[in-house]
Structure 1
Amino acid sequence: MRDQELKKAQDSIKSRVDQVVDCGLWNVGPLLFNGCVKLLDIGRNWNTLSYTPIQSIPNMLNGRAEMADGIYDDVIRTESERMNTDRMEMTVEIYESAECVRDHDFRTETNTHQPLQRTGSDYVKIRSSRAAAVCLVLLCVLLLTAVIVLCVTFTLERRQLISKNENLTNERDQLLTNITNLSEERDGLKIKNKNLTNERDQLLNKNTALTNDRDELTKERDQQLNMISNLTEERDQLLNKNMALTNQRDELTKERDQQLNMISHLTEERDQLLNKNMALTNQRDELTKERDQFNQERNELWKMLNEMGGYIYQSSFYFISSEKRNWAESRRYCTERGADLIIINNREEQEFVKKMPGGTGVWIGLTDSDVEGRWKWVDGSALTSGFWAFGEPSGYKRENCAVLFSSGWHDYLCNDAFKCICEKNI
C-alpha cells in the first residue's frame, strides 16, 4: 500500500511538472523537478523510518519542516541563478531528472518484492509513516502553488517594469528631442545676442558721433542766438522808423486814393457815355441794314409773287412748280430759287397747304433714303409727328420719298414724277 501511494505521488508530481513545462514556465520547471526529486529521496528513506519508534515522529516532522524550508530556499536560489540560462539546457535537465525518477522507481519496486514479516506495531508505524507522507505531499502541493503564484506575480511585475521602461525610454527620447530643440534655440539666441551686441556697439558709436555733433551745433546755436539778439535790436529800431514812415505813407495813400476815386468815377462816366454812343451807332447801322434788306426782300417777293403766283402764310412764302419732276430734281428746283421743299410743322400749316390750288399730289421735303424707317426733313431734323394716310408709309425700302395728298401723306418711289411745293422763310 505504501509503495502504491508513493507511486501515485510520483505520478502526480510528474503530471504537474509536465503541465508547468507545457504552460511555458521553463524557468520554474527545473526548480519544481528538483524539489520533487528531493521529496522522492525522502520517500525512499521511509523504509528505514518505518522501523523507528513512534515517539520519534515529531522529531521527524520537524526535520521535514526544516528540509521543506531548505527546499524552498533552494528553489528561490536556483530560480535567481537560472533566470538567464538557455531553454534547451532546461529541457535537458528535465529529462535527466525524469531518468533519475525512473531509476528510483525501479529500486523501490525491487525493494517491495522482498518479503517482510510485519507485526502489530509495524502496522502502526506504517500508518504513521503514511500520514507523514500525506502531510508532505500536501506541503509539496502548497509549495508548488506558492511558487506558481510567485512566478505569475514576478511575470506581471516584469511586464509592468518593461512597460514602465518603455514609457521612460519614450520620455527620455522626448526629453532628448526637447534638449536638442532648446540647444538649437539657445544657439540661435546666442547668434541674435551677438548680432544685437554688434548693433549696440554701432549705435553707441553713432551716439558718440551724434553727441559730438550736438555739442558743435550747440556752440553754433549760441553764436547764432547772439547774432539774433543783435539783429533783433536793430530790427526794433528799424521797426520804429518803419512805423513812422508807414504813418506818413498811409496819409499820402489816403489822399491818393481819394484822387484816384474821383478819376475812376469820371472815367466810368466817360466810358458809359462812349458805350452808349457806340451802341446807339451800332443799332442805327443794323437798323439801316435790316431796312435795306427788308426792302430788297420785299421787292424780290413782289417779283416772285408776280412771276410764280405764290402764297404767304405766317413768316413763310410758298409756291408750287408748274412741271412734274422726281424728288431730287424738285428739290434742286426749289434751292435754285432760294427756297427748299416744304417742311410741315403743324396741322394748321398742313390744312393751309391742302387748301392752296394744286396743293395736293406734290412732293414735300420728307425722306428716309439715308436710314430706312427714319424719316427726316430736308433741314436734317427728325420727324416727330406726321400726317400719314391710313396704312402709310407702306413702301418699305423702295418708296423713300413723301407726297402730299388730301387724305394725308404717302410714300412713293423717289424717281416718280410729281409737282413740288417750295417754302422760303421771309
Structure 2
Amino acid sequence: MNLTTDVQNLVTQNQQLETQNQQLETQRNNLTKQIQDLETNWNKLNVSRAQWSIDAYCPRTNNGRQCAACQNGWFLYMSNCYVYNNAAPDHQKTWEEARQDCRGRGSDLVVVQSQEEKDILKAVSVGSSGTAGYWFGLRAEGGRWKWIDGSNLTESYWTPQPPPATDSQCVMSVQNYNWIPVSCDQKQRWICVMKALSV
C-alpha cells in the first residue's frame, strides 16, 4: 500500500516537473526570439547609422559620391569640423540646450586649445554684437572657469583677463567684445566642433 502511494506521488511529481519544464522551454524560446529580434533591430540601426554617415560625409552627386572631411554645412579648419548655429532669436538655446544639440550631432561645444581656434571663434561670431553671441564650451564651476573636457581655463586665451567665475555663468564669443560671461540660461546661438574625417 505504501509503495503504491509512493509511486503515485512520484508520478505526480514527475508530471509537475514535466509541466514546469515545458513552461521553462516556452520561456526560453520566447527569450531567444526576443534576443534575435533585438539583434535584428540593432543590425538595422547600425546599417542605418552607417548609411547616414556615408550620406553626411559623401553625398550623392551626378558623378557618384564626393566625400569630404566634414559633413555638409560644416567647415574644416585644421583637423576639426565646425558648425555655427546662426539661429533666429526664437530658436536660440540656453548653454545646456546648445550642448545637447551638439551632442545630438555627434559633436560638442568648442573647447579652445589654441590662439588659432580662438580666432576661428571670433571669425564666426561676425555679425553679433552687444549681448548677442555664440556659446562655446566654457562655464563657471565651483568658482573656476572650466572647459567641458574638465580642464581649467588657460587665461592667456581671455583678453585682457577673465572676470571672477560665478557659478551659473557661461561664456560666449561676441564680435568686438571677445569673450563675455552671461547667465547660462540666456538664449544664444552656438558653435559645435568634431574631429574631421581623413579623406
Instruction: Give the TM-score, by structure 1 length.
Output: 0.27
Q: Is residue 339 of structure 1 aligned with residue 107 of structure 2?
A: yes
Aligned to 1:422: 192
Higher helix residue share:
1
Contact persistence 1:320–1:359 (CA under 8 A): no
Contact persistence 2:135–2:173 (CA under 8 A): yes
From 384, 400, 415, give the equivalent of 2:154: 384
SS in 1 for 2:96: helix
SS in 2 for 1:424: strand
SS in 2 for 1:344: coil
1:347, distance to aligned residue in structure 2 (A): 0.9
Q: Distance in 2 between matches of 1:313 and 1:298?
A: 21
SS in 1 for 2:171: strand
Larger Rg: 1
Higher relative contact order (CA 8 A, sep 6+): 2
Q: Is residue 363 of structure 1 aligned with residue 131 of structure 2?
A: no
CA 1:399/1:305 → structure 2, altered by over 3 Å: closer, same or farther? same
CA 1:401/1:359 → structure 2, altered by over 3 Å: closer, same or farther? farther
Matches within 5 A, 1:70-109: none
Deviation digits for residues 61-88 of structure 1 (CA, Å, limit 9, x no counterpart): xxxxxxxxxxxxxxxxxxxxxxxxxxxx
1:297, distance to aligned residue in structure 2 (A): 5.2
CA 1:401/1:317 → structure 2, altered by over 3 Å: closer, same or farther? same
SS in 2 for 1:338: coil
Deviation digits for residues 261-281 of structure 1 (CA, Å, limit 9, x no counterpart): xxxxxxxxxxxxxxxxxxxxx
Letter in 2 for 1:422: C
Q: Distance in 1 between matches of 2:187 and 2:84?
A: 14
1:368, distance to aligned residue in structure 2 (A): 1.8
Q: Is residue 300 of structure 1 aligned with residue 68 of structure 2?
A: no
Deviation digits for residues 375-421 of structure 1 (CA, Å, limit 9, x no counterpart): 22111222223432446425x53552111123321111111111110
Instruction: Give the TM-score, by structure 2 length.
Output: 0.55
Q: Is residue 410 of structure 1 aligned with residue 173 of structure 2?
A: no
Aligned to 1:316: 80
CA 1:399/1:389 → structure 2, altered by over 3 Å: closer, same or farther? farther
From 313, 330, 337, give the equivalent of 2:98: 330
1:352, distance to aligned residue in structure 2 (A): 2.2
Letter in 2 for 1:355: A
Aligned to 1:401: 170
CA 1:382/1:305 → structure 2, altered by over 3 Å: closer, same or farther? same
Output the aligned Cα RMSD: 2.8
Q: Distance in 1 between matches of 2:158 and 2:97?
A: 23
CA 1:352/1:391 → structure 2, altered by over 3 Å: closer, same or farther? closer
Q: Distance in 1 between matches of 2:126 and 2:58?
A: 21
Aligned to 1:9: none
Aligned to 2:36: none
CA 1:391/1:313 → structure 2, altered by over 3 Å: closer, same or farther? closer
Q: Distance in 2 between matches of 1:411 and 1:302?
A: 38
Seq. identity, %: 29
1:356, distance to aligned residue in structure 2 (A): 2.7
Contact persistence 1:325–1:418 (CA under 8 A): yes
Aligned residues: 128
Q: Distance in 1 between matches of 2:127 and 2:145?
A: 21
Runs of at least 5 residues in structure 1 that lack an aligned partner in the other structure: 1-294
Contact persistence 1:367–1:400 (CA under 8 A): yes
Q: Distance in 2 between matches of 1:357 and 1:378?
A: 20
Q: Distance in 2 between matches of 1:422 and 1:408?
A: 18
CA 1:310/1:326 → structure 2, altered by over 3 Å: closer, same or farther? same
